[in-house]
Amino acid sequence: MIAGFYGIVDLPAAAGPAEAEALAAQLLDGGAPMIQLRMKRAPTRALLACARTLRALCSRRGAGLCVNDRLDVALLSSADAVHLGQDDLPLGAARALAAGRLLIGISTHSLAQAQAALTGGADYLGFGPVWGTASKPHPDPVQGLSALAAVVRAAGPVPVVAIGGITPVRAAAVANAGAAAAAAIAAVNQAPDPTAAARSIHHTFRASG
C-alpha cells in the first residue's frame, strides 16, 4: 500500500463525506494505493463520518485507508493505518492501543527523528519537507534530496514517503533518492485535473522500479 503516489484527502474542517469521497475517487483514479484522510481541526463526529465513507470507497477499490493524527477515528472506521506527527500520541502508546490492528506511520523532519521512529517500530515514515511547502502554516526546515536519501538508507526495508513540495516534475528525483512513495497535496489536489497529476507521480515511481 505504501508505493508510488500516496494520496492525501486534505479538506477543511467543515467538509463533509461527499466532498471527501469525490476527492478520494479522483486520487484513486490516478493510481493511489493508499488514501490518507487529513482534516485538521474537524469535529470528531464529522471526521469519523468522512473516514467511514472513505473506508467503504477504498474497500471497493482495493486501496488502503489511513487517518491522519487520530488513532481513535482510525480504529472506529476500521482504517488500515494511522499517521502521527511529532506532537501527536507517542508511537509506543499508539502501538499499545492499536494492538496490531493498524499500520503506524510517523512524520519525521530529520535523520534523528527518523531513527527514533524506526527504533520505536514505525511501519513507515513520512520524511520532509524535501522542498518548501505551503500545506502547513509553520513548516519544518527544508531537508532536501540528500537528507531524504540518507533516511531511506537508514530505514532499510521500512517504506519512506517523501513529503513537502512534491510535484509531478519533481517525482523522478524523489524516486531516484529511493523513496517508496511521494505525497503531494497542492500539486495534485489543486491541479486542473487531480487524477492526471496523481497518475503522473504514480507512473514515475512505477517506471523507476
Q: Cite the active site residues.
A: 38, 107, 136
Q: Rounded distance, CA 91 to CA 113, Å?
A: 12
Query: 58 near 24, Cβ under 8 Å?
Result: yes
Q: Map residue 201 onto helix, strand or coil.
A: helix
Max Cα separation, the chain? 42
Any bridge partners for residue 29, and if so which? none
What does the DSSP assignment read for 104-167?
EEEEESSHHHHHHHHHTT-SEEEE--SS--SSSSSPPPP-HHHHHHHHHHHHTTS-EEE-SS--
